[in-house]
Amino acid sequence: MKKLLLLGLMLIGGLTANAQEAGLPDGTVAPDFTAEDINGNTHTLSTYLEEGKTVILYISATWCSPCWQFHNTHYLADLYESYGPGGSDEVVILYVEGDPSTTLADIQGTGSNTWGDWTKGSPFPILDNAQIADDYEIGFFPTLYMICSETGTTKQIDRNDPAGFVETIEATCGGTLTGVPSRATARGIDRRFCSNVGEASAIIRNLGTEDITTGTVVLKENGSVVATATYTGEAIAQFSNGVVTFDEYEFDANADYTVEITQYNEVTGGDDELLSAEAAFTLNAADENLSGINIKVEIHTDFYPGEMSWNLLNSAGDVVASGGPYQPGNEDEYGGGGPDALTVKTEYFTLSEDIDCYSIELLDSFGDGWSAYNQGTFVGIKIFTGSQSVFEAAVGNFGPRAYGETIFKTTGQLDNPSFQTAKFAVYPNPTSGILNFTTEETVNVTVVDLSGKVVFTANNINDGDSINLNSLQTGMYIAKINGETTERVEKIVIK
């Protein structure tokens, strides 16, 4: 049984350009447009500017990984609820889908070229209009433009948090945004529990200009209140969070859970949709989620293996297994390349015989996560017990740290005594053409070049066998190796 998780903002996705000089120069008169959003409502840029509103165009694509990461911060949604039509109505935010091949199904998360439902968490209008992207001469996704009402000119701006957007608007367009005094929203905190008993938490996020000092949040199971928690922390400033934690509760794996703010400051919750949020609680108590204590960990490295490391933690928070950083290369000043780049580092561990749940911590010393060097390359972590995958996470630019809670649970049984000592090797590497194999099972080998083109295949390779790659030109290749229990990728350098 395989569990594929996306840890926080760890995603591997479509290739995006990064031409920092692309787009309209700052100070260009903004090209006017009239366009319908996906709900049939019409939006005219010049009308919004004549009304004295600052306009932010967020030009994105449903397949774009950085776009999806930014979408899930909810920063633009927060700005909209505070200063857009959801709040003081001083700012207009328009999401523009800039890829002409995108379908409505992609935007709604049911298509084949999307990361998920872009309508969820997007209270602002979504315009599926590649012509706007062309008119604004974007060179990469995502691109953000700010257009001030008085000048009607463009300024390309960075992705930012809500407070940063406010600061940029006030500094560039002049004046001070008013906002709304009282505005709050609830956020559920998704949790993974080792059993069906655990402590759920929720977030009170302040979208108003006045601090929130008191708050009450309820936990609902299938619409009925089952727990209540009161906020007792420090005052919550605008665009900051306060966390409340409920007492231990026995969760039902088949139930639906929501958290709802019923009171904050002097405001009593009513029909405001912002005050309610879904919360997902996953239980690792069922027998099918159990793993033996002998595990194999595969780290599929990116181009900078010297930055990558990881820790496996037990339920007490103790590190019980770890790996990395791996050997850096010398292909650039940051340690790119080398024998450990774009390959699979495999390590074997025997965990405690106590039944326990384990969490994973992924670290990047440079602070930009683990990212694919070639489009379509899997970068991330896989954990196996025997030949069975119990955890897999494809990753991307998650920053310096990503954390996955309770990713699997062990039985305390030594289910495969020989598993820990399983060995595999391909050598020499770099090679002049001959590759030798050490393997405990028969494997098949497919070699591809960096464009993804298959340049060599060999089947039924056994321990001690060799393959001859003398027909290939010098350079770097990727060898995909598969057996009954083996699935790995090796970087091969032919010299």
Q: What average pLDDT is seen over the chain?
A: 85
pLDDT (tens digit, 9 = 90+) per residue, 371-399?
765 545 788 899 887 667 788 887 777 87
Q: Is the pLDDT of residue 314 over 70?
A: yes
| Domains of the chain, earliest start first | 34-173 (3.40.30.10), 184-283 (2.60.40.10), 287-420 (2.60.60), 424-494 (2.60.40.3080)
User: Could you tell me the pTM of the whole model?
Assistant: 0.67
439 band by pLDDT with thresholds 50, 70 and 90: confident
Supply the pLDDT for residue 226.
94
- CB–CB of 80/74 below 8 Å? no
- What's the confidence (pLDDT) of residue 410? 80
Question: What is the pLDDT, as a whole number, of residue 354?
Answer: 79
